Amino acid sequence: MPFSAQPPASGERYALSASLDNARHLSSLLRAVHFQDHATCFATASGLRVTVEDAKCIQANAFIQAEIFQEFSVQEESVVFRVSLSVLLDCLTIFGTSSLPGTSTALRMCYRGYGYPLMLFLEEGGVVTVCKINTQEPDELLDFDFCSTKVINKIILQSEGLREAFAELDMTSEVLQITMSPDKPYFRLSTFGNAGSAHLDYPRDSDLMEAFHCTQTQTNRYKISLLKPSTKALALSCKVSIRTDAQGFLSLQYMIRNEDGQICFVEYYCCPDEDVTEGEL
């Protein structure tokens, strides 16, 4: 079926149609959750949410609110589809990934509805590319049931302090252990690798600590291979909030400022590893 290089007339009924002057506002966020090939996209009047999951243990969500887009319209109550995130990212960055100041790729995204492909129209410097990405049945997603009332411990850190730590995590360790406590060591990240154990301690009065609300000492272990991808989100973000609930579920929320100064969020949820034991000190 031939399709023209022109975006469809606005009179046509599309379940989702959106315009974005700078596709990087979307692609950089999606990269921060790109640890699996497929993602589930949700569109509501408030904006777009892209969810990626792995091993039934970890879930990452990227939120791009409607205000970020120049135009954002959702005709149905909610629009859900599954799509290849790798392909979507390749298309969004089809003009290259280097960010020269002043040049940006414009995006128009259209989705007719269930069974239809996701259409992307990308333009840079007068050159237009049209992409048609097949959509699939959305997966059933995990519900971590993580709400603020169930939070036991919460801290907010400046991302700068964690970036290097996450980039240099000892990957020979199977787990990343997180200790949060009203007493010493306050906030500790630990690994247990081939060379020995390593602990990274952040005191509650550190300049990096923006908020510290720990009511109970908790030590939880998470599979390091599942959390390592969150380093991408950390690298983009300026602040991160780390929360755990009574079951040891971990919520990491990253506040990301894009090139235009607008705020977006990426969050990661992770289940604790099976054998939860007190860590070595």
| Contacts with another protein, residue ranges (CB under 8 A) | 161, 164-165, 168, 170, 194-203, 205-208, 280
Q: Per the structure block, which two tokens stand in for 41?
A: 């996209």
DSSP letter assigned to residue 91: H
Q: Which is nearer to another protein, 8 or 279 (CB)?
A: 279
For another protein, the closer CB: 202 or 254: 202
Contact 31, 89 (CB under 8 A): yes
The nearest distance, CB 197 to another protein, in angstroms, is 5
For residue 98, give both structure tokens. Answer: 């280097």
Kindly report the backbone phi and psi dihedral angles of residue 58, in degrees, each rounded to the nearest multiple of 5, phi listed first: -135, 140
Shortest distance in whole angstroms from residue 161 CB to another protein: 6
Count of beta carbons in the 10 Å neighbourhood of residue 90: 13
The residue among 152 and 209 lying less far from another protein, judged by its C-beta, is: 209
Cβ atoms of 91 and 122 within 8 Å: the answer is yes
Q: Count the alpha carbons within 13 Å of 53 in the hemisphere toward its beta carbon.
A: 14
Helices (H), the chain: 24-31, 85-92, 160-167, 224-227, 230-236
CB 40 to another protein: min, Å: 37
Pick the closer one to another protein by CB: 38 or 204: 204
Q: Which is nearer to another protein, 73 or 197 (CB)?
A: 197
Residue tagged 């007190």 (tokens): 278
Return the SS3 of 163: helix
Minimum distance of another protein from residue 199's CB (angstroms): 4
Task: Please report how close the Cβ of residue 194 comes to another protein at its closest, in angstroms.
Answer: 8
